[in-house]
Amino acid sequence: MAHVRSLFFDGPLTEVENKSVAAYKLGRPSEVIWNITNRCNLLCEHCYMAADGHALPDQLSDEETIDLVDQMAASGVPLLFLTGGEPFMRPNFWEILARAREHGIRVTISTNCTFIDRDVAKRLKEHGIGYIGTSLYGPADFHDDMVRVPGTRDRVVEAIKILREEGVGVALKTAVNTDTWPHIYDLIQEAKDLDCGLIYLCDLIVSGRSEGEEDGRITADQWRELADFIADDIIDPESKLEYDIGAMPSFIPYVAEKLIARGYDLSRGLERLKIMSACPVGKGHMNINSEGGVMPCQFAQDWTVGNIKEMSLAEATRELFKLADTPTTGICAEENCEYAQICRGCRVKAFHEYDDPFGQDTTCILKSAGDKVLHTSRHESPSAALPCSGPVCG
Ligand SMILES: C[S@@+](CC[C@H](N)C(=O)[O-])C[C@H]1O[C@@H](n2cnc3c(N)ncnc32)[C@H](O)[C@@H]1O
Ligand code: SF4
Ligand code: SF4
C-alpha cells in the first residue's frame, strides 16, 4: 500500500504516513489489518478471503478480540483497519471499535456498506471514525453480478452519500482486473463526484475465490497507462484525490521516474521509502485473520508466522520484522534493480508464484517489456533472473 500523493507531496494522509514511519522506527507495528470475521452477506466472485455466510470454526472469541485490542494499544499500534469478510457481521464489532477508540487508536473500517444507514453513519462519526473504505467495481448490473447480490450498488452509493453528509470520509476501493479495467477511469471520476478523498486500486490477488486466475490480471502496459494518468492527476492543482495502490509496488518507482523527469523534487518521499518500502511486508505491516493467524500481508492467508492465541502481539511483531532482513532475488535483487530497497516487489506475488516470498515480482511494470508481465512458469526457480529490458537496469 502506498499513498501516492501523500508520499511525494503534501497530501491528506501525509500525517498518517508520518505516524506509520515513526511507529516502525520504534519497532512497533505501523498498521494492523484485522479480518475480524470471515462471514459476509455478499459472495464476490474475486474475494481473496473466500468469505461467505459462515464464521470460521476457530475464530477468536469475544474475550480474545478485546485482549488483542488491548495488546495493540500496549504495542503502540497507530492505525487499525477492521475488515473481513464483512466486519459489521461480527456481533461484537461495536465493542471492538469502542475499545480501540478508547485507547486512541485510529481506526478505518473496510466494509461493503450494505449495513450502513444514517443511524450507523452517525454512530461511526460518534466513535471518531475519520474514514471508511468501501468497494465499487463498475456500473450497476456489472457490480451486482460481481458481488452476486442484486441491488447492492445502489445501496453502496446511497451509503456513501449518507456517510459524507454525516462527515465520515470515504475511500473507494476496487480490484483491478480484466473485468473491471473498462470501468476504472469512470470509477476514479465517480470517486471525485461522490466526494471520496481516496481511491484504492488493487491488482488482482490470486487467492481465495481468485486462486489460479493469473490471466485475470491486466497487462503491464495497462498499469503503465493508469500510472501515467495518476501521475498527471496528482500534479493537477484542481485535483485533490489521493491514490492508494495495492499489490503493485513497482507503480511507485515508475511514477517517481515520471515526476522526476518533469523536474519535481521527490527526495522526501524517496527517503521515506528507504525506511518503509513500497511493499510493506516486514516493515511494520501486520495482518491478523479471524482465527488469530498472523500474516505479513492480508493477501497471503497461507503465509503465517504464528497465531495470536499462542504468541503475544509483541512476539508477532518481532517475527514480522525479521522478514525485512532477507534480500530479494531475481529481478528484484539489489544487483539487478536500483529500486530493490525502496520497492522490494510484491512479496505476496512471489510467495504465490514460487512458494518463495523473497523471489522476484514478475508483474513489475518497470521491467516488463510489453503485453503481459514477465511470466515464468509457476514455481520455476526465482534464481533464474530474467533479462532486464526496462529503464531500471537500462
Ligand atoms: C476482502 S474485502 C473486505 C471488506 C468488505 N467486505 C468489502 O468488500 O469492502 C476488502 C477489499 O478487498 C478487495 N478484494 C477482494 N478480493 C480481492 C482480490 N482477489 N484481489 C484484489 N482485491 C480484492 C475487495 O474488492 C475489497 O475492496
Ligand atoms: S470482497 Fe468483501 S464483500 Fe465481497 S465477498 Fe469478500 S469480504 Fe464479502
Ligand atoms: S524489479 Fe522488483 S524491486 Fe525492482 S522495481 Fe520491479 S518489482 Fe520493484
C-alpha cell at 163: 456517510
Q: Mean pLDDT across the stretch 263-285?
A: 94
The pTM of the full predicted model, rounded to 2 decimals, is 0.92
Neighbours of 284 (CB within 10 A): 27
Query: How high is the pLDDT of residue 205?
Result: 95
* 331 touches 314 (CB < 8 A): no
Ligand 2 contacts CB of residue 138 (under 6 A): no
The pLDDT-based confidence of 2 (bands split at 50, 70, 90) is confident
Instruction: Please give the span between the terminal C-alpha atoms of the chain, in angstroms, as a whole number.
Output: 27
Per residue in 73-104, pLDDT (tens digit) is 999 999 999 999 999 999 999 999 999 999 99
Euclidean distance between CA atoms 238 and 234, whole angstroms = 9
* 40 touches 51 (CB < 8 A): yes
Residue nearest ligand 3's atom 5 by CA: 250
Mutate to test the pocket of ligand 1, among 1, 40, 48, 82 (most ligand atoms within 8 A of CB): 48
Query: How high is the pLDDT of residue 369?
Result: 54
The pLDDT-based confidence of 343 (bands split at 50, 70, 90) is very high
* 27 touches 317 (CB < 8 A): yes
Three-state secondary-structure class, residue 136: coil
User: Is residue 50 pLDDT above 90, yes or no?
Assistant: yes
Euclidean distance between CA atoms 353 and 125, whole angstroms = 42
Indicate which atom in ligand 1 lies nearest the CA of residue 209. Answer: 19
User: HSE on the CB side for 324, CA within 13 Å?
Assistant: 23
Euclidean distance between CA atoms 311 and 61, whole angstroms = 16
Query: How high is the pLDDT of residue 1?
Result: 61
User: Is residue 12 pLDDT above 80, yes or no?
Assistant: no
For residue 151, say if its preceding peptide bond is cis, omega within 30 degrees of 0.
Answer: no
Question: For 113, left (φ over 0), alpha (ψ -120 to 50), or beta?
Answer: left
C-alpha cell at 9: 507531496
Three-state secondary-structure class, residue 284: coil
Residue nearest ligand 3's atom 6 by CA: 364
Indicate which atom in ligand 3 lies nearest the CA of residue 331. Answer: 1
C-alpha distance from residue 226 to each of 221, 231, 234, 291 (Å): 9, 9, 12, 36
User: Is residue 20 pLDDT above 90, yes or no?
Assistant: no
Please, is 353 exposed, middle or buried when counting C-beta atoms within 10 Å of its C-beta (0-12, 13-18, 19+)? buried
- Give the ligand at the shortest distance from the Cα of 341: 3
Question: Residues with Cβ < 8 Å from 246, sequence gap 6 or more?
Answer: 1, 200, 201, 202, 203, 299
Query: How high is the pLDDT of residue 336?
Result: 95
* 288 touches 34 (CB < 8 A): yes
Per residue in 166-200, pLDDT (tens digit) is 999 999 999 999 999 999 999 999 999 999 999 99
Residue nearest ligand 3's atom 7 by CA: 345
The vertex-299 CA angle with 75 and 309, nearest 5°, equals: 45
Give the pairing type, strands 106-111 and 293-295: unpaired
Query: 492527476: which residue's cell?
Result: 233
The vertex-185 CA angle with 182 and 188, nearest 5°, equals: 135
C-alpha cell at 176: 483491478
Torsion of CA 242, 243, 246, 248, to 10 degrees: -140
